[in-house]
């Protein structure tokens, strides 16, 4: 059974720092991996989607990498801002096209 783990569960950094959020999964037979952002009381917003054949995707200050063989993905946020404060969720799409989510990393960027 696919399991997705995100470390750390919470992170607090000063504004301007570069940071890395980690995601690991137990079964490398994935269709894709997605990173979402969730603001308090809101739904999820898709940030990046990496197909299983890809190694990374970039969008603005965000860069996500995928190492399928080791079951790991990282989300790199450059020059963090207070507006980046949110919960970041990693999800893998399994071979039956269902998303399996991690529990998320709650990020606080202090001004």
Partner 1 sequence: DAEITQSPRHKITETGRQVTLACHQTWNHNNMFWYRQDLGHGLRLIHYSYGVQDTNKGEVSDGYSVSRSNTEDLPLTLESAASSQTSVYFCASSSWGFGDTQYFGPGTRLTVL
> Which residues 39-78 are close enough to bind partner 1 by CB under 8 A?
41-46, 49, 51
> Which residues 80-99 are close enough to bind partner 1 by CB under 8 A?
89, 91, 93, 97-99
Bridge partner residues of 1 (DSSP): none
Measured between alpha carbons, how far is 13 from 5 in angstroms, rounded to an integer?
A: 21
Tell me if 111 contacts partner 1 by CB under 8 A: no
- Nearest distance, CB of residue 16 and partner 1, angstroms: 29
- Nearest distance, CB of residue 33 and partner 1, angstroms: 11
Residues that bind partner 1 (CB under 8 A): 4, 31-32, 34, 36, 41-46, 49, 51, 89, 91, 93, 97-99, 101-104
């Amino acid at each position: 059974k696919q399991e997705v783990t995100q470390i750390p569960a919470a992170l607090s950094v000063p504004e301007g720092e570069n940071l890395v959020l980690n995601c690991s999964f137990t079964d490398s037979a994935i269709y894709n991996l997605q990173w979402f952002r969730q603001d308090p009381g809101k739904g999820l917003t898709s940030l990046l989607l990496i197909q299983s054949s890809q190694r990374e995707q970039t969008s603005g200050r965000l860069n996500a990498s995928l190492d399928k063989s080791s079951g790991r993905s990282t989300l790199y946020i450059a020059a963090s801002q207070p507006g980046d404060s949110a919960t970041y969720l990693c999800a893998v799409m399994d071979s039956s096209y269902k998303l399996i989510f991690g529990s998320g990393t709650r990020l606080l960027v202090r001004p």
